[in-house]
Amino acid sequence: MGNVDYMGPNWKRMAGAHLNTVIASASWELVEPQEGKYDFALVDSMILSARKEALKLIVLWFASWKNGKSTCTPSWVKKDPKRFPLAKDEQGHNLEVLSTLGISTRDADARAFAVLMKHIRQIDQKEQTVIMVQVENEIGTMGTKRDFSEPANAAFEGPVPKELMNYLEKNKSTVHPGVLAAWQKQGSQKSGTWEQVFGKGVRFDD
């Protein structure tokens, strides 16, 4: 949902269909079109229109990742891969997805989300039209097994964090069956690199 005019008449239509809650999206690209300059026109329109029709609203936050790609990021993020590094495939080619290890990406995304949440509180604290905000971090690396950028390779070839190993040891009964099987296949090791602990991964299309 990226157009106020398009959505205008639909709020009354949804209320007329006896809905009580609507899920609508807010993207980082539209909320922060220029770094540090925020535009809440669409967010405000969603909240005020839902409120007018006595509807509740769930806001989906699309930012660094959606459907395994980074299409909802602002242009100033897309145009600066040095500051906001991209994931790479095994041949070293950039993918259309931000690396999860980009510190600047994490910080910029978090700032934008914090400003969004503050704004929602400012205009909706009393009425509470917005009943939930869901962060859509749909991370993925389509076309490759994983991120092969230098920071990602270093992390992958390093030891599995102790926190994760401790969690596996203490929560065997609730760990996802696939993760548990991969770990047990490697002998349920208590330390090691990712491949030593979980074995070699394969692409879904292999």
pLDDT (tens digit per residue) in 94-135: 999 999 999 999 999 999 999 999 999 999 999 999 999 999
Q: Where are the domains of the chain?
A: 4-157, 159-198
- CATH number for the region 4-157 comes to 3.20.20.80
Distance CA 99, CA 147 (A): 7
66: left (phi over 0), alpha (psi -120 to 50) or beta: beta
- Res. 60: pLDDT tops 90: yes
pLDDT (tens digit per residue) in 128-161: 999 999 998 888 888 788 899 999 999 999 999 9
pLDDT (tens digit per residue) in 3-59: 677 777 889 889 889 999 999 999 999 999 999 999 999 999 999 999 999 999 999
Helix (H, G, I), strand (E, B) or coil at 149: coil
